Amino acid sequence: MLVFPKPHSDGYNFIYNLPVSLILHCMKKYFAGALFSILASMTIYAQDTVPHVQGKVTISVKNGTIECDLILSNMPRLSDYYIRLNSGMNIRYIKNAEEGMSPLKYERSLQDTLSYGESLAYYIPAFNKSGKYLPHAIHFNYVGMYPVITDTTSVVDWRGNIAFNGTTLRADGIQSAWCPILYDVKTDTRYEKVTYDLDVTCNDCKVIYVNGSPPVSGTRALVKSATSQDLTMFAGDFKSVSINGNYFLNPDADDQQLAELEKTLHSYQVYLEKKTDIPYKGKAVYIQTTPVSKYNSWLFASYPTIVKVGWDEGMKSFLSKSNGSGFMQYMAHELAHYYFGTFRDFNSELGDMITEGFAEFLALHITRAYISDSLYLEELQSKAGEMRNFNPKPIAKISSKSDYGDRELYVYYYAPLIFSAIEKEIGEEKMWEWIKVLLQSPAVFTNYQFLEQTLNKVMNDEAGFESLCEKYFRSESAFQNAASTLNLLADEPSYDVDEKPVAKTYYYFFFSGPYRDAGSSQNRVIKHTDILQITCTPDELSNMARSVFKRLNDECENDAGCTSDFNTFDSMEKAQAALQRWLGRYGKNVTMLEKILEP
């Protein structure tokens, strides 16, 4: 008799027996397929395990404190793991959650290179093969205290920041890791999506919101979710408005304007539902808030929550003739993250590119369908123009996220252009088929092999598939190929190696300012040229710029050092507008000495 372990529905293993003769017979005919099936079923089981978080959270928006007494349970049985927790949290103890247990020794790891810098990686050491011990349920008790920044004195703000601005707390449920997040090292899987049962108290709040539950008015919220969510949290003194079951928190628009916005956003959701055959689940929550820095602004999605952080107009900006279409494109991108990022997580070296690249690709589709075809074409051309000084590594050669070079250009500009070119080659119908397969094909690692295999399955044309992969995934000229397919001006020198470079007219300016501590007595000199014009080849332009960069460095008058920036444009108007934006970065409250740099 041979004995095999089998995954059981409650997460434990039991033993069953099979006759040797039957096993040998099956092995002869089906060994490879059976083995793959067993491994696949185990993989799917592991991915479907949803941890549960239960306990108390106490917040003070005015003092910048978060105190947590939580139990993390129903975890997958991992041998190699880390538990990520925000670096600002001071741990009182970590215990086995069984009653009467003593605090456990825990250690930090410096090997969690995939973790964001906001969190630290912990594990419980053990004398076993993996060197790690994971109780079935873990009791965490910790407290964190963060600066309350009411005057934008923070130098930077970002998604993973636990931000107190004097009236609200903003904490996302992934990067900030304000709640412990289990991470599987072997499969590169985060378990930030959890079910929860939380008792949240905030005596200086008027509204408390935890992702996946309706906002609660008052100073205490008992919130539960049987659907897995990341624990994005927003609490403080603000207004909550409900329209057709969707919520708008801290909006700057009135109820009528919000109703118009909700109707438009709902139409985007319906469009994506029909195209993917995957319905949105739950109602959306739209949050508007301000950063704790002067210049940062962004949107992010932790569905059903979409958060807009910035100092410009918020939810009412969709009515603006000049900025409305841009705001709605951003919102379309975040709504697309329901599919790429919520319905399915993508990992490995290409996970970020797939998630953001396809979200932007879907936003382009919404732009064409609901805003205007001309704006869609303008967006494609704009993305191609932004790529003019960027030489992206082919997708097939990406082995780590650092290979992206410039992440923003790679995932938000390059990837959507590549996907748009592939769509033009294979047709819109097959493109949507590929998207469905990407979203629903079982896989442990969503890497380059996954990308190729899913596309190959949809095309069902080996010769055409190989040609497409060579053209857009493997070629060093993939961007140029995409630009040609889309009939875009790639803003690249249009000459062969043996031909003479073509001269082009550039409108440009150089700009130099303090490297840091701008506005202090030691760092208050900014230098820039007027808007200048030159007609030359790209190589001649680069040679000219090098000499100016050297001069700026040699003549730096700021003790902290000087920046050196060279900006080129295809029109005088664009260059003039850009120079004013650069000068405006220093603000009215900073006294700077402006000097014109003579050519």
Q: Are 404 and 410 in contact (CB under 8 A)?
A: yes
Q: If you average pLDDT over residues 312-327, what whole number do you get? A: 80
- Phi–psi pair at 93, nearest 5 degrees: -165, 160
Burial level of 23, CB count in 10 A (0-12/13-18/19+)?
A: middle
Q: Which helix (H) or strand (E) segment is 421 a member of?
A: helix 415-426
Question: CATH 1.10.390: which residues of the chain?
Answer: 346-485
pLDDT in tens, 564-594: 888 898 899 989 988 988 888 776 556 889 9
Q: 52-238 maps to which CATH number?
A: 2.60.40.1730
- Whole-angstrom Cα distance, residue 537 to residue 222? 66
pLDDT in tens, 220-272: 999 999 999 999 999 999 999 999 999 999 999 999 999 999 999 999 999 99
State yes or no: pLDDT of 322 exceeds 90: no
**Partners of 287 in the beta sheet?**
249, 307
pLDDT in tens, 414-426: 999 999 999 999 9
Q: If you average pLDDT over residues 334-358, what whole number do you get? A: 95
Helices (H), 470-537: 478-485
The more confidently predicted of residues 311 and 587 is: 311
pLDDT in tens, 49-91: 899 999 999 999 999 999 999 999 999 999 999 999 999 999 9
Query: Residue 561: its pLDDT value, please?
Result: 85
Query: Residue 115: its pLDDT value, please?
Result: 58
Query: Residue 477: its pLDDT value, please?
Result: 93
Question: CATH 2.60.40.1730: which residues of the chain?
Answer: 52-238
Class of domain 346-485: mainly alpha
pLDDT in tens, 408-455: 999 999 999 999 999 999 999 999 999 999 999 999 999 999 999 999
| pTM strictly above 0.85 | no
Query: Percentage of the chain with pLDDT > 90?
Result: 69
Among candidate residues 226, 140, 218, the one with its CA nearest the CA of residue 182: 140
Q: If you average pLDDT over residues 264-281, what whole number do you get? A: 96
**Cβ neighbour number for residue 368 with a 10 Å cutoff:** 16
